[in-house]
Amino acid sequence: MSVTAADGFEAAGVAVGLKSSGNLDVAVVVNRGPLKVGAAVFTSNRAKANPILWSQQAVQDGVVEAVVLNSGGANCFTGSFGFQTTHQTAEKAAELLGVGSADILICSTGLIGTGDEVFRAKVLDGTERAIAAASADGGDAASLAIMTTDSKPKRSVVTQGGWTIGGMAKGAGMLAPGLATMLVVITTDAVLDASDADAALRRATSVTFDRLDSDGCMSTNDQVTLMVSGASGVRPARDDFADALTQVCLELATQLQGDAEGASHDISIEVVHAASEPDAVEVGRSVARNNLFKAAIFGNDPNWGRVLAAIGTTAAQFDPYDVDVWMNGVRVCSGGGPDASRDDVDLTPRSTRILIDLKVGDASATILTNDLTHDYVHENSAYAT
């Protein structure tokens, strides 16, 4: 059910020809209330798509009536025409729902730099058709409509204490923080005000989506939206809601990692005993973005020297000659020198765990990444053809 698992929401996915495959390509998620609270976080890329520019302004009052999403075109670097398309999409949705256009968020995903009158007409038609089709059973169709190079939809639902959180996500490439490239819509029927929703969303994304770093490439269209209907009538404790929201975000982030373009290994890089959490994140990310390390994992080669070389480029506090490294449970490096034989390490499973012990403090962090494969290079060499 994804985004319609929580009471008070309707959704739909329709096909209007934005994708050459003919698959579903326009989705809507509508909040029927009684609350119409919303919060969102966006890409930190300075190059932002038109829907991001629109939604950043629209969400500022903490009210979100609906989200309209399209795949098959990013509507980024399409000039004033592209922004007008976004504006007209919001106006179309608002007219059909009887609400203000400033309370409609817009999301787009697909190829950057393309957009014309045909694209606009299809998006507007899809908006009208999706709103007409929206229902409490439409969550799964909506999650299919936002897919691009994804091989499967990403969904998560958590229910506790009489309230529910449901979410859907898309993303398979350009997975790197601020945020990882994605469109995500999360709904809840819990009772929350705008400030609590915003705080919980930022707390959850900071330790989930922002730590998914599959290929080091940051998108122009990232948006994670939280919509609150309050339909359950239950106001959860702030920490309880934030923890449940973090669980949903982590499940979605893990599904994104598992569907990353061309990947053959899902790599978890856990950094422990760091002087600070930012240090742990910096060290983990330095490994996640190291192409030599990622290529070694693709080849099932436990080349721990590439781990030490990568973390040595950081400003984090540690002694590079007193670091331990484990690969899939085998300590291959102790105190900056060789430990167990590389022959003891089995890297053939898709799930790969790297543990780095910096031995200087009590902080830790985990970064999620993937290996660098021939398939990744091939897929991205032909993305626009």
pLDDT in tens, 294-336: 999 999 999 999 999 999 999 999 999 999 999 999 999 999 9
What average pLDDT score do residues 28-42 get?
97
Q: Which fold has domain 2-258?
A: L-amino peptidase D-ALA esterase/amidase (3.60.70)
What average pLDDT score do residues 214-235 get?
91
pLDDT band at 179 (very low <50, low <70, confident <90, very high): very low
Q: Is the pLDDT of residue 265 over 90?
A: yes
State the pLDDT at residue 220. 86
Residue spans per domain, the chain: 2-258, 266-381
Contact in structure between 338 and 250 (CB atoms under 8 Å): no
How far apart, in Å, do the first and last CA atoms of the chain sit? 34
What average pLDDT score do residues 72-97 get?
95
Report the alpha-carbon distance of residue 323 to residue 314 in Å, rounded. Answer: 14
**Which contacts (CB < 8 Å, 24+ apart) does range 15-22 have?**
15/145, 16/122, 16/123, 16/125, 16/126, 16/129, 17/122, 18/70, 18/71, 18/72, 18/73, 18/110, 18/119, 18/122, 18/123, 18/126, 19/71, 19/72
Report the alpha-carbon distance of residue 357 to residue 361 in Å, rounded. Answer: 10
State the pLDDT at residue 380. 73
Q: Is the pLDDT of residue 340 over 80?
A: yes
State the pLDDT at residue 385. 47
Would you put residue 273 in left (φ > 0), alpha (ψ -120 to 50) or beta? left
pLDDT band at 384 (very low <50, low <70, confident <90, very high): low
Active site residues: 181
Contact in structure between 37 and 194 (CB atoms under 8 Å): yes
| SS3 assignment, position 116 | coil
Contact in structure between 5 and 157 (CB atoms under 8 Å): yes
The CATH number of the structural domain formed by 266-381 is: 3.10.20.340
Report residue 378 as tokens. Answer: 């091939």
State the pLDDT at residue 140. 97
pLDDT, mean over the chain: 93
Report residue 49 as tokens. Answer: 């798509």
Strand-pair partners of 185: 168, 225
